[in-house]
Chain A
């Protein structure tokens, strides 16, 4: 039995890097320090595994599966490559070159979660920081439209509300505010809970900015919150030494989307005229941030990149996978480390079912079930190493803890093989 320390957890965007695992007979037998989700991820990653590559449900050799994948991609006029948030940055990087080579669309799951965060940032910027800055300095923390108690279980203890930093020593020295449409578990632990009317985030953010700038509001009530309460809140934001706003899909995916983010950005920007204030998106999958980073350095754009012109073209709403699919434009798809079938709109899935789909995944998913070619891969962060970016864009190195099942390669290795053969095929 051996113990491996400082393991980076490949589950959520928190990328906790202090996990201890015990390995026996090439299996993880014990997990320490991780949250419940992390422990499950490390110990049950072998459930629902796929062990053999398949074409049309028939088990084939890896070589046959790769050849078929290459044929599909080489013959497609407008293939789409999608997913990427649960694999290594290196694998995504190879995916980008494949997309460039075949003139397809390269998109990642940000387009259906924090895409609006990126669009808001592209309009107005963002004042942000790494999580340690919050841990060390933040006296006031807002969780807006996010529920870390469930989605990022160790976030509050390690990085935010209850973390212990150099200048702020713990939960007692911080004020915690939750803004949400319902009283979540996170809200129950807050000092102040603001129950906002659904789809009125934009109004409340704008009113707050007004109150920060001008002191008083004319209306009696905004977004279901009395004006006095908003004014009081604005005073609190101004008078803390360092404030941090964490936000989730409750803000990015409710009415207004990117406009909500822009309103939050402008509020935080205004607050920086009085004190120090930052905002950090609560990114979900463990390397969705890395997908945005590597796409940006290789193509200039963080998601939704169309290579049909030979160079990168970016037009979210048009070049985003869900839109390409809904229009029925793409004639083949390569899905890596994602399960769009379980979450996409019905029309998009109907179109996906009509075209040849190649899926790389360690596990059986709804998407593997409709795929023409399925290539099982190693679980990144357990059976394969690679880089990943935390929600605050801090890069970390995922470890290889155990060997993958016999004959199973990592996403990176499989994609390299596909790229190599494609290069021989496509000029």
Chain B
């Protein structure tokens, strides 16, 4: 099938196209130079054209997300949509059903989303849900930092075997990147404990959070994985934790070679100054300063949006603290030899001092970090708010007026302590295209995503707004409305959304990395691992492996390693 998108204002930062009026030609799911006269024409005159959105961190599938659904029937009652001839029924607000997730991302013009944390033992579940998320392409990060086999190898200094094990696990379980969640702390949560610094011991392993992070960062390079290590810090959610965040970034600075080698996720949750909830302040200026001076770091925001949320992380001890703070219902789910997960429903309130400070932190980070290629838009869905609120966050970034409107309603003490009122920066459409698709695709090293150059996947978002005429600073509501409902979303060359409605549905691809591991090394490693498996796990190694036939639409990405 051929498509010609005519006369749109195109924002394609990877190809340095900044609001040029041009045509985009599509054939067989790819962007091409030109198409025949038979091509279906989409008139994008006076519209905004961008690559499809790429979300680098969102909780969309797997045991933790589904536990959230089961835990929260009250979340689903008021947010429903009946089945249509094209779509399945939609249900759920902060923790929507798989179908709902696919449709809602597509309506926003997003076409690629990565599940942020899958414990290996439950990754079969993650894939079963990914199989049922329509339209978007997807993948998942594997949580590996509190994995006993990894910790054993790191403690013994057997980094080659550790790398071979991690390489094998990506092949076996079909994941995309190494996720680190409160390294060491989650292992200790097995005993109801936690770590407090990067140098705490993690008995019985002879290692520390710092050594785990450094070890996995080195292994990431040895395996030549497409993404960096993707890290949720220690001390998350605690006042004063911005220091831990900077220390964490700095602990791998000497391992960098000019490119980013660490991604710190949802930095809002680990960007707190002060030393108690009373003295809490934003640590964003300090973090932004570090990021501005060090190009080995990328971050995403975890921006708070006031209203309902469901907190869900692999950080069991953090969720335990949160349930004690809120008294809300709490689910904890530890996974043998691998980690944990916790879920606590939450509501962010404007008048609440802590929530208001949290709101300012995310925006400060985005506005104070100068290089948009290293700061990405997320709400850590559904932790700080749902992904449906991205248009709202975008308008806060594009309009000082929009920010001030909220600032006038939030807790007064929080406003007084924040530097946000003094920041004048307003994002351009070009910068928005960077932080929502171009930079995230680049950080994931997805060569065919996040841009509209010839050969790229024809994943395209068209919004009904004229970027040449509108002043987003003043007319931010118009921007928000346009971004909420794409005029067109095109996925793999197919029109899936028209005027904010789903017009076609199918299942997108699940991509995963397949690192090449030297045969002898893999054999040696597997011999040891199969012995450990009998002791550590309650399933056999054979049954742990996920067959490629278990993925609805599997897309392996071969990786040459440096092993």
Contacts and interface: CB of A to CB of B under 8 A. Distances in A.
Given A8-B543, A100-B88, A311-B91, A131 B336 contact: yes
A299 B91 contact: yes
Contact of B96 (A124, A136, A272, A300): A300
Interface in A381-421: 387, 389, 393-397
A254 to B, nearest CB: 23
A269 B344 CA distance: 13
Given A299-B97, A397-B543, A130 B121 contact: yes
A307 B76 CA distance: 14
Interface residues of B, number: 65
B153 to A, nearest CB: 15
Contact of A314 (B76, B89, B90, B191): B76
Contacts of A153: none
A107 to B, nearest CB: 15
Given A5-B542, A6-B543, A136-B336, A300 B537 contact: no
B122 A278 contact: no
A294 B82 contact: no
Nearest to B88: A100
Interface stretch (B62-70, B288-296, B426-434): B62-70
Nearest to A273: B324
Contact of B98 (A126, A298, A389): A298
A164 B128 CA distance: 31
Nearest to A269: B330
Contacts of A311: 80-83, 89-91
Nearest to B69: A296
Given A165-B535, A300-B91, A136 B337 contact: yes
A62 B285 CA distance: 70
A209 interface: no
A421 to B, nearest CB: 17
A297 B124 contact: no
A125 B537 contact: no
A127 B125 contact: no
A130 B335 contact: yes
Interface in A134-193: 135-137, 158-159, 164-167
Interface in B515-563: 535-540, 542-543, 546-547, 550
Contacts of B535: 164-166
Interface stretch (A24-32, A115-123, A195-203, A323-331): A115-123
Contact of A276 (B65, B85, B191): B191
A339 B331 CA distance: 33
A242 B189 CA distance: 11
26 contacts: A6-B543, A89-B128, A93-B132, A118-B70, A123-B329, A125-B344, A128-B332, A129-B335, A132-B335, A133-B190, A133-B336, A136-B190, A136-B337, A276-B192, A293-B66, A297-B65, A297-B98, A309-B82, A311-B82, A311-B89, A314-B76, A387-B128, A393-B125, A394-B122, A396-B539, A396-B543
Interface of A: 5-6, 8, 17-18, 89, 93, 97, 100-101, 118, 121-133, 135-137, 158-159, 164-167, 241-242, 269, 272-273, 275-276, 278, 292-294, 296-302, 307, 309-314, 387, 389, 393-397, 427
Give the 6 A-B CB pairs with smallest separation, nearest first: A132-B336, A310-B82, A276-B192, A129-B334, A125-B329, A311-B80
